[in-house]
Amino acid sequence: MAERLTAAGLNVLAIERGGWRDTPNTFATTFDQDELRYMWRHHQFENVAHDTLTFRNNIGQVALPMRRLGSFLPGTGVGGAGVHWNGQVWRFLPKDFAVRSHNLARYGKSAIAEDMTVEDFPVSYDELEPHYDTFEYLCGISGKAGNLNGTIQPGGNPFEGWRSREYPNPPLDMTYGPTLFAKAAAEAGYHPFVHPAANMSRAYTNPLGAQLGECTYCGFCEKFGCGNYSKASPQTTILPILMRRPNFTLLTNCEVTKIELDSGRTRATGVTYVDEKGQTQFQGAETVMLTAYILHNVRLLLTSGIGKPYDPRTGTGVIGKNYAYQITSSVNVFYDDKIVNPFIGAGALGMIIDDFNGDNFDHSGLGFIGGGYIGVVNTGARPIETHPTPDGIPNWGSAWKKSIAANYLKTVSIATHGAVMSHRGNYLDLDPTYTDAYGRPLLRMTFDFTDNEHRMSDYLTDRATDVARRMGGREVQAKKRAGSYSIVPYQTTHNTGGAIMGDNPRTSAVNRYLQSWDVSNLFVQGASAYPQNAGYNPTGTLAALAYWSADAFLNRYQKSPGPLVHA
Amino acid sequence: MKRATAIAGLLCVAALATLVAPALTQAQQGASSSGELAVRGKYLAILGDCASCHTSKDGAAYAGGRGLNSGFGIIYSANITPDRETGIGNWSADQFYRAMHKGLAADDSHLYPAFPYPYFTHMTRADDDALYAYLRTVPAVHAQPPPNKLPFPLSIRGLMAIWNALYFSEGAYKPDPAQSAEWNRGAYIVTGPGHCGGCHTPKNFLMADENDRTLSGSPIDNWFAADLSGESRAGLASWTAADIEEYLKNGRNARATASGSMQEVIGLSTGRMEDGNRAAIAAYLKALPPSAPAKQSSAPDPAAMRAGEAIFADACSSCHLSQGRGQPRLFPPLAGSAPVQSHDATTVLHIILQGSHSLATDDKPTPLAMPAFAWKLNDRQIADVATYIRNSWGNQASSVDAADVRELRNDLAKASGN
């Protein structure tokens, strides 16, 4: 966003809660691959002693603070979670933008339960296509197109929406585990393809002139910065250019605590922030772009009194509405005779099938909508994190150790990565009890998986198991996601919703250009805008939405400031 | 708007810069106004990289006070702003010319050749006048450089008369009619304002250039200024003129990345030159004869090579890739690399010990860096990996001893005050 705005000649001041981070100083190759420090001791993640959220599964419970990160791992510092992501870059399916209307049309009224508050995106895939493209070229995505301007391409994902051109870089070299999966999936009649990756298959210079290096498959993407300049991140794709621009200013270690409004409460005057010395400051602005992580976007709207907070009892209000997530499961294949060297990895190095994503398959009689992708992604099998053991092995002790030693090199793990639809009872609001270091109420998350998610995830896990059985291993172990959502074990940092986009201010927080319905000089970027989550990693779509929003801001709003949509 | 102005200014400079050729006649000179003269002078200040030595520590242009390691002690650069008390505000154009041409200050005292008058003497009077005109226009800064830290007897400036008698030959550059205009222009820049030999020509025991080894590389400040001759391994034999031009413009090309003070030279001087002048420098350097090849060294110790190979795979190959093939313009190739095969391994060792941040430019804005290994690898390990990269994939150069690494490690610690 700042890159687009400064390129257009606007003065941009960015305020970042954390500190400055860059490749040579913050994650140099000489110390970056340190699983204990970064993954387990959270050196690049949010500090929950400073700020956290409270959590409960439903409104009948009392929410308690999350005192240790678990299920999701938001970042802190310049670059945010874009530093420690895997680089899995997807486009949503065209029909993912029309979840309500498409499912109603195809399956009838009963397809969408009464409490399922899914909506269509107020923007179409076709409208976002050029912006997806911009982001993929910015990041130098390695991949293989499956649908070039409507023509299906061999080797790519035949289910994907049309794309105007090929990926900027060829696919990564594939390792053994994903190859075994792809072969079995093809034999089962599915359509395996290579995972699109923000890990460079070759040296790349992006359209802004930033340079990225060839990935060496070290296996430290997820939860780590990249010291080789091989993973697209703000540090490798935009910051080198942005920091040279005289009309860009960055404040670090400054935390925005409130968006300030004028007396009419329809216009933002700027923001209040706490600076490095702990002093409260005001920064005036013509326009405020709210670009924090989704949880902070929603909380800032709530603490600033912008928009009507959502009430799950009445279904009224918009801020905090339609919080969603993703549901994952796995199926392990244990071999005796195959060494798959899982430590050779990259964040998005894998083979995928999309046959059960979105509405790529007939849901008649299945009792759920939505889907997800299934695949083997070798992110690196870091040693502390990765200890595959078959069923029946104890969780500790010498038998456990022996089993890990026997299986570490000979296990392939298939993952399913499923959508979470929005539900009336899943939402975000302010906690009535707990406060952060500044005395502000913590965000309260109320969330659980519903029957739709469990049916869908079980269905995906069964399909993954079908493929697993064809892979020729000694034994197959399916790990379904059972029971209520737990915030403790890591699942995925794919939180969405809470400030959703829509076509009218009664049901959504922002319009199709991510402009606040209530405060027209406030734009709320990020996955907080998703009316529900899809079966893909959200970064590609949120980036496309940011470019789409920037485009509208520069080409329309700048010429005539005011609401871009009249509802 | 600000940016548009800056671009217009640059074009203006570029257009006028073509007038700087030494063949310029006095009559043409007289025709230019003092404003045009100053604009020409500004470009000459870029050719001469005046800013490298004469920018003060707090960034004041031409206010001097920067300490230069002369080999005998610290000499502080002069304030050359028009300040009357501490700068050269009282100097006439004639006095300025004498300083450039003869190494004499306004009061007739001798300047130390840390101020590279042995090169500047090759500049034309017209160019000196233009530079003088420009320096009259920069803001006057009142700042007295610290006294030099030189041991007796070198602290006696008069001794420089003897040094001059031994090593200094006064006189403007005389174009060689047998060579092309481009070559002559390159020779003028390299031997005159550019004073490339100041770093790149070996010095004798009194820090005077060894003229029979011009530009064949020389140690400086814990680096080794590269061999610019046509030597086949450590020199520029494998570089094309286009490679040299690209390097001088962006600080990197497909073969190498600039390090050390060359980055500053590129950022402040060669990167700001007009293309034609970079091409002239390249033409001149490409015509230099090869320096004497390094003595045939004995084959490296196989144990050191094995250890070095393992360290290379673990610590280096993720960026420089297997076979040392590198990623052109990103992470320099080590196979066939001139700096890697330098007969003096100081630069390679310096980079392994302390790492290196490459120069970021508008063309190449990514601040690429190699991390430091001083804390991670011991002297023996660094020696072995250096020996390995200097003798693999067709490379050939002398082995490195752990003692060499220890010495440089200590010198670097001293230089950084630790």
| pLDDT tens string A28-83 | 999 999 999 999 999 999 999 999 999 999 999 999 999 999 999 999 999 999 99
ipTM of the predicted structure? 0.89
Measured distance CA(B366)–CA(B327) in Å, rounded: 14
Six-digit token pair at B247?
């390097």
Instruction: Please provide residue A13's backbone torsions phi and psi, each rounded to the nearest 5 degrees.
Output: -115, 120
- Flag if A229 and B371 touch (Cβ within 8 Å): no
Q: Is the pLDDT of residue B224 over 80?
A: yes
Q: Determine, for residues A214 and B327 on separate chains, whether the beta-carbon distance falls below 8 Å.
A: yes
Token code pair at residue B71: 């080999």
Q: Which of A81, A76, A114, A117 is nearest to A99 (CA)?
A: A117
Residues of chain B with Cβ-Cβ distance to A227 below 8 Å are: 318, 371
A30 lies in some domain: no
- Looking up residue A149, the CATH number of its domain turns out to be 3.50.50.60
Asked if B366 and A22 come within 8 Å (Cβ–Cβ), the reply is no
With H, G, I as helix, E, B as strand and everything else as coil, classify residue B110: strand
Verify whether the Cβ–Cβ distance A240 to B357 is below 8 Å.
no
Give the DSSP letter of residue A174. P
CB contact under 8 A, A218 and B357: no
Best mutation target among B257, B311, B316, B327 (most A Cβ atoms within 10 Å) is B327
Q: Which of A24, A216, A246 sits opposite B369 (nearest CB)?
A: A24
Q: Does B89 touch chain A (CB under 8 A)?
A: no
**pLDDT recorded at residue B206:** 87
Give domain status of residue A120, yes or no. Answer: yes
Contact state of B367 with A229 under an 8 Å Cβ cutoff: no
Active site residues of A: 494
The whole domain housing A190 covers 2-20+43-557
Select from A211, A218, A241 the Cβ nearest to the Cβ of B368: A211
Instruction: Report yes or no on A565 lying in a domain.
Output: no
Residues on chain B touching A30 (C-beta within 8 angstroms) = 315, 371-373, 375-376
For residue A228, give how far its alpha carbon lies from the nearest alpha carbon of chain B (Å): 6
Residue A104 in domain: yes
Whether A355 is covered by a domain: the verdict is: yes
Chain B, nearest residue to A9 by Cα: B1
**B371/A29 touch (CB, cutoff 8 Å), yes or no:** yes
Which residues, at least 6 apart from A330, have a Cβ–Cβ distance to it below 8 Å? A413, A414, A415, A416, A464, A478, A479
pLDDT band at B32 (very low <50, low <70, confident <90, very high): low
pLDDT at A224 over 90: yes
> Where does the pLDDT of residue A130 fall: very low under 50, low under 70, confident under 90, or very high at 90 and above?
very high
CA gap A286, A58 in Å, rounded: 40
Is residue B79 pLDDT above 60, yes or no? Answer: yes
**pLDDT tens sequence across B335-354:** 999 999 999 999 999 999 99
Handedness of CA A265, A268, A270, A273 (dihedral sign): positive
Q: Which two tokens stand for residue A28?
A: 């140099």
Interface contact B369, partner A, CB < 8 A? yes
The rounded radius of gyration (Å) of the Cα atoms in chain A is 23
Cβ atoms of A498 and A428 closer than 8 Å: yes
**Rounded CA gap, A393 and A395, in Å?**
7
- Say whether residue B371 is in contact with chain A using an 8 A CB cutoff: yes
The encoded tokens of residue B221 equal 């400040």
Query: What SS3 state is found at A353?
Result: strand
B2: nearest CA in chain A?
A: A246
- Residues of A in CB contact (< 8 Å) with B are 22-24, 28-30, 203, 208-211, 213-214, 216, 218, 227-229, 236, 240-241, 244, 246
When scoring A20, A229, A235, A245 by the number of chain B Cβ atoms within 10 A, the one with the most, hence best to mutate, is: A229
Q: Which helix (H) or strand (E) element contains residue A255?
A: strand A255-261
Nearest to A30 among B321, B364, B371 (CB): B371
**pLDDT over 70, % of chain B:** 92
Within an 8 Å CB–CB cutoff, is residue B254 touching chain A? no
> B60: distance to nearest CA of chain A, Å?
20
**Shortest CA distance from A245: residue in chain B:** B362
Residues of B in contact with A218 (CB under 8 A): 318
Tell me the average pLDDT of chain B. 90
Residue A39 carries which DSSP code? I
Helix-strand-coil split of chain A, %, nearest 5 = 25, 20, 55
- The residue written with tokens 């000089």 in the block is A521
* CA A33/CA A39 separation, integer angstroms: 10
Contact B41, B32 (CB under 8 A): no
**Contact between chains at B357 and A24 (C-beta distance less than 8 A):** yes
Average pLDDT over residues A449-475: 97
* Contacts with B322 from chain A: Cβ below 8 Å: none
Residue-wise pLDDT tens digits, A228-280: 999 999 999 999 999 999 999 999 999 999 999 999 999 999 999 999 999 99
Please tell me the distance in Å from B371's CA to the nearest CA on chain A.
Answer: 6
Who contacts A251 (Cβ-Cβ below 8 Å, separation ≥6)? Answer: A13, A14, A15, A16, A273, A275
The reply to whether A170 falls in a domain is: yes
- Cross-strand bridge partners of residue B331: B327
Q: Please give the average per-residue pLDDT across A528-541, as a whole number.
A: 98
Kindly state whether B362 is in contact with chain A, defined as any CB-CB distance less than 8 angstroms.
yes
Question: Which residue reads 């499923």 in tokens?
Answer: A418
Whose tokens are 């499912």? That residue is A103
DSSP for B327-388, please give it: BTTTB---TT-TTTT-SSTHHHHHHHHH-EEPPP-SSS----EE---TTTS-HHHHHHHHHH
C-alpha dihedral over B5, B6, B7, B13, to 10 degrees?
A: 110
Q: Which residues of A474-511 are buried (b: 16+ CB within 10 A; e: fewer)?
A: eebbbbbbeeebebeeebbbbbbbbbbbbbebebbbbb
User: What whole-number distance in Å separates Cα of residue B71 and Cα of residue B81?
Assistant: 27
Contact of A306 with A290, CB cutoff 8 Å: no
B85 class by beta-carbon count within 10 Å (0-12 exposed, 13-18 middle, 19+ buried): exposed
Which residues from chain B sit within 8 angstroms of residue A229, using beta carbons? 330, 366, 368
Q: Do A246 and B371 touch (CB under 8 A)?
A: no
Contacts with B321 from chain A: Cβ below 8 Å? 214, 216
Give me the percent of chain A exceeding a pLDDT of 90. 99
When pLDDT is cut at 50, 70 and 90, the band that residue B11 belongs to is: very low
| Domains annotated on chain B, with CATH | 2-167 (no CATH), 190-286 (no CATH), 302-415 (1.10.760.10)
Say if residues A301 and A509 touch (Cβ distance below 8 Å). Answer: yes
CB–CB contact A24 B371 (8 Å): yes
pLDDT for A193 equals: 98
The pLDDT confidence band at residue B108, using thresholds 50, 70 and 90, is very high
The bridge status of strand A522-524 relative to strand A280-284 is unpaired
For chain A, say whether B329 makes contact (Cβ under 8 Å): yes
Residues, chain B, total? Answer: 418
Q: Which residues of B touch A23 (CB under 8 A)?
A: 367, 369
Domain tally, chain A: 1
Residue B20 in this model has a pLDDT that exceeds 50: no
| A36 within a domain of the structure (yes/no) | no
Torsion of CA B400, B401, B403, B404, to 10 degrees: -10
Distance from CA of A503 to the nearest CA of B (A): 39
Q: What does the alpha-carbon distance between residue A414 and residue A418 come to, in Å, rounded to a whole number?
A: 13
The least confident of A64-78, A166-180, A497-511, B23-37 is B23-37
